[in-house]
Amino acid sequence: MRRRTGGSGVRQWALLLGLTLIVALLVACGGPAATNTTAAPTAAAAGTTAPVATTAAGARAATATPVAGSRTTTAAAGTTARAATATRSGTAPATATARATAGGSPTASPRAGGAPRATTYPLTVTDDAGRTVTLRQRPQKIVSLAPSNTEILYALGLGDRVVGVDAISDYPEAAKAKPKVGSYSRTNIEQVVALGPDLVLAAGITSKEQLAALESQGLTVAVLNPATLPGVLDNLSLVGQMADANAEAARLRADLEARIAAVGERLRGVTTKPRVFFELDPTSFYTVGPKSFIDDLIGRAGGVNIAADAQTPYPQLSAEQIIAKDPQVIILSDEGQGVTPESVGARPGWGNISAVKDGRIIAINPDLTNRPGPRVVDALEQLARALHPQAFR
């Protein structure tokens, strides 16, 4: 049985995102992804380079960093409409719990679900890299260095303040027209400076050298790099606070939390959790591990990640390891690279995997799963429906 989410028009675009995202993942983790040695230790040799093209928040791929715009066709009924509504309205070891101070006085932390209130400046917060960030005034010009950040800004109704984005930011449609400030992994510092932003939103893929170069120009830079779904929601609140869009952030967060709760309610009676292999690329078999928000999505969708015992958030497995783990469901976020359920089944030795024998190989739009922005809740709904279709009948 072959299931798809997203049309064929996405293929060429997904290939580019796939290639860029795996690089983002590896860099964000501090170098080549470590090999999971809990099964047969035959992963690709250390130092293997992933093809380059891009965060989130990919391919050989992934978002998030996976790390996450899009031409999206949603499988879950009603998801597209809800996503459109969210766009109009605008835990994690890697997510710092920030208590902001405005004018030197403590305020309710938006990450703790504080009541919406107008932001007063100067404002000091802690970003996902554990850095202290101070905004002297309400930012009127914002640059985004990752597609997931761009999606957050537009979902909060801040598109009119976005003056520059990375080359991969393509959602919503209006983001495509914004000036480009370099690739996902290599920012053109001169272009950013020329735009005169009050705030630059970086991501896990943004290197320390780039952060230092931006700040040396007097720019205010905040890093968004969530490791869980709650961390993504925290970032919505944090951006809302920094940009004085607290009410919009609270409304969007409440909508997304309600949808997350609805998925949990659907899965309340589920007693079995299928083993899941989430494929980021078709040749080196990078996947998602602990402390990655996609791993969190899999768990919340009622699955068990076969790489949950890996040593890095984005490990590389060998074919032998995957076969030995015997996933019951395979999720493909690399269909844009020419991968199909049929081609997966034709891989040597993969015919014995339960997911292949049972026809449970599902392609999903990587924009939803690999970008840690508002649409990860779309991904959660789709994953839950794919893993437990009986709970959504």
Task: Give me the pLDDT at residue 195, please.
Answer: 98
Assess if residue 313 is contained within a domain: no
Is residue 118 within 8 Å of residue 244, measured between CB atoms? yes
Per-residue H/E/C for the chain: CEEECCCHHHHHHHHHHHHHHHHHHHHHCCCCCCECCCCCCCCCCCCCCCCCCCCCCCCCCCCCCCCCCCCCCCCCCCHHHHHHHHHHCCCCCCCCCCCCEECCEECCCHHHCCCCCCCCCCEEEECCCCCEEEECCCCCCEEECCHHHHHHHHHCCCHHHEEEECCCCCCCHHHHHCCECECCCCECHHHHHHHCCCEEEEECCCCHHHHHHHHHCCCCEEEECCCCHHHHHHHHHHHHHHCCCHHHHHHHHHHHHHHHHHHHHHCCCCCCCCEEEEECCCCCCECCCCCCHHHHHHHHCCCEECCCCCCCCCCECCHHHHHHHCCCEEEECCHHHCCCHHHHHCCCCHHHCHHHHCCCEEECCHHHHCCCCCCHHHHHHHHHHHHCHHHHC
Q: What is the CATH number of the domain that holds 225?
A: 3.40.50.1980
**pLDDT tens per residue across span 34-66:** 333 333 333 322 223 233 233 333 333 333 333
The total of structural domains in the chain comes to 1
Assess if residue 150 is contained within a domain: yes
Is residue 145 within 8 Å of residue 201, measured between CB atoms? yes
Task: Give me the pLDDT at residue 288, please.
Answer: 97
Assess if residue 216 is contained within a domain: yes
| Closest alpha carbon to 74 in 86, 56, 62, 57 | 86
Residue 220 CB-half CA count within 13 A: 22
Assess if residue 239 is contained within a domain: yes
Assess if residue 149 is contained within a domain: yes
pLDDT means per 10 residues, the chain with 393 residues, are 42 44 41 34 29 32 35 33 34 36 42 69 97 98 98 98 97 98 89 98 94 97 97 98 97 98 96 97 95 97 98 96 98 90 96 97 96 98 97 94
Owning domain of residue 189: 101-256
Q: How far apart are CA 316 and CA 338, in angstroms?
A: 20
| Closest alpha carbon to 372 in 251, 263, 236, 275 | 236
Assess if residue 139 is contained within a domain: yes
List the Cα angle 275/277/279 in 5-degree steps. 170
Assess if residue 199 is contained within a domain: yes
Task: Give me the pLDDT at residue 115, please.
Answer: 57
Assess if residue 11 is contained within a domain: no
